[in-house]
Amino acid sequence: MSLPLSTNPSSRPPSSDAGSAGPARKTKGVLAPAVRGLLALLGALAGYQIAESLRTSSYAPDLGQPGKILWLLAFTAAGLVLGYICGILLSRAVRRGLDHVDEIMEGATGAEVVVGIGGVVVGLVIATLISIALVRIPLVGVYLTVPIYLLSGYFTAYLAAKKHVEILRLLGLRGAFEGLPGLTPSKLLDSSAIIDGRILDIATTGFLEGEMLVPRFVVEELQHLADSADAEKRVRGRRGLDFVRRLQSGSGTVRIDDRDYADLKAVDAKLVRLGRDLGAMIVTTDYTLKKVAEIQGVQVLNVNDLANSVKPAVRPGEVIEVKILREGREHDQGVGYLDDGTMIVVESGALLVGSRVKTEVTSVLQSPSGKMIFSRVVS
C-alpha cells in the first residue's frame, strides 16, 4: 500500500513559502557567479605573486623586459583560469551545501540554531589560532587559511548542533531555553500512542505544547503492520495510519521527521536516540519504553498516566459523606459540594437541607463545563 504522507515543502500553505523561497532562490543564483569571480581573482593574484617570486629568485633566467612581462602575464592568466575552474567546482559544492542547509533548517529547533551559531564562533577562534602558524608557510600559507576557516567553522557547528542538549545541560541553560515561547520541547509520538487514539483528543484540546513529530520509521512500522497477513495487526496498522492523517489535518504542529539511524534496528531504540538528539519528549503508552527512555535521560509522557490522573475521584457504588446545602432543581433533590467544589445531587435530599448524610454514588456525569455526581441517601 502507498502512504500519502509527505514532508515536501510544496504541500505546505503557499503563505509560508512565498515569502522566503523567492529571496533564497535569488541569493543562490547570485552566489555562483560571485564565487567564480572571487576565485578567479584570487587565482590571478596567486599566479602573479608566484611569477614575481620566481622572477626575482637567483635561479631565474634573464628574460629581458618583454620576457618579464610575458612571464607575469602567463602566470597571471594561468592562475585566473585555474581559479575560475576551482570557482565552478566550489560554487556547485556551495549550492549543494546550501540546499542541504535548507533541508536541515526545516527540522531544526531554535535551540539547535542558537547552539550551532555558538559552535561557528568557537570554530572561527580555533581557525584563527591555527592560521597563525599557517601564514608562516611560504607562498601557499595565506591561501591555506581559507579552507581551515571553512572546515573548522563547519565541524564545530555540526558537533554543537548534534550535541546541543548536552551542551545546554552542561551550561545550565536547558531549562531556560525550554521556558522560552516557541522553544518548548518537541513531542515524539510512538506507534502505541498513535494506535491508542487518545492522543488525537489530547492534541485537539491543546494540552500538548510545542511541535509534535511523527518519525518516518514509526510511520514505516505502522505501514508494515497495515500490510501484515495477521488480521489484528492489519487493523491496528490501518488505525494508526488513519490517526496520523487526522493529526496532520487537524493540527498545524504535526510534522513527519525523516531522520533515521541505520545502525539501530529496533524502533524503540531509534525513538530514544532521536529524543536524546532533539531534546524532545516521547509520547507513548508503552510502560517498558517509558522506563528505558527515562534511564537514558529522555523525558516521557505516558498517556495512561494522564488518564489515571484525570479519572473521577469517586466511582459508582462508593459511599461518601456530604452536607446538603440547598434544594435541587428537580423535585425532592438536595444539592451539596465536595471539598474540590464538585457538585453532588442527592435524591430524596430536599428534606435534609443543612444535614450531613452518607450517600451512595449512582453515576458520574463528565462534561466540558465540569463534573457532576448523582447519589442517593444511604438509609
% of the chain residues with pLDDT over 90: 8
Domain span at 168? 17-172
8 Å CB contact between 293 and 275: yes
Identify the residue whose cell numbers are 498545524: 252
Q: What is the pLDDT of residue 21?
A: 46
78-82, 124-128, 252-256, 301-305: least confident range? 252-256
pLDDT at 18: 41
Burial of 124-154, coded b for 16+ CB within 10 Å and e otherwise, reads eebbeeebeeeeeeeeeeeeebeebbeebbe
Rounded Cα distance, 294 and 296, in Å = 5
Provide the CATH number for the domain around residue 350: 2.40.50
Whether residue 26 is found in the same domain as residue 160: yes
29 plus 168 within the same structural domain: yes
Strand partners, 372: 343, 365
Q: Number of structural domains, the chain?
A: 3
Q: Are 40 and 34 in contact (CB under 8 A)?
A: no
Identify the domain boundary among 115, 149, 172: 172
pLDDT score at 181: 42
Give the N- to C-terminal CA distance of the chain in Å, as an integer.
Answer: 63
Query: Residue 363 has which C-alpha cell?
Result: 453515576
Query: Which strands sit side by side in the sheet containing 254-257, from one edge to the other?
Result: 254-257, 212-215, 187-189, 281-284, 300-302
Residue that terminates a domain, selected from 267, 283, 309: 309
Residues counted in the chain: 379
Residue 301 lies in a domain: yes
Pick from 172, 196, 215: which residue ends a domain? 172
159 shares a domain with 265: no
Q: Is residue 336 part of a domain?
A: yes
Residue reference for cell 525523516: 258
Judge if 25 and 111 occupy the same domain: yes
Instruction: Please report whether residue 347 resides in a domain.
Output: yes
Quick one: 212 and 143 in the same domain?
no
Q: Is the pTM of this model over 0.95?
A: no
Interatomic CA distance for residues 82 and 91, integer angstroms: 14
Name residue 323's beta-bridge partners. Answer: 356
- pLDDT of 178 strictly over 60: no
Identify whether residues 216 and 348 lie together within a single domain.
no
In which residue are the cell numbers 463534573 written? 371
CATH number for the domain that contains residue 203: 3.40.50.1010
Instruction: Flag whether pLDDT at 179 surpasses 60.
Output: no
Helix (H, G, I), strand (E, B) or coil at 317: coil
- Helix, strand or coil, per DSSP, at residue 188: strand
250 and 159 assigned to the same domain: no
The model's pLDDT over 319-360, given as tens digits with 9 standing for 90+, comes to 888 899 988 888 888 999 887 678 899 998 888 888 899 999
User: Residue type at 196?
Assistant: D
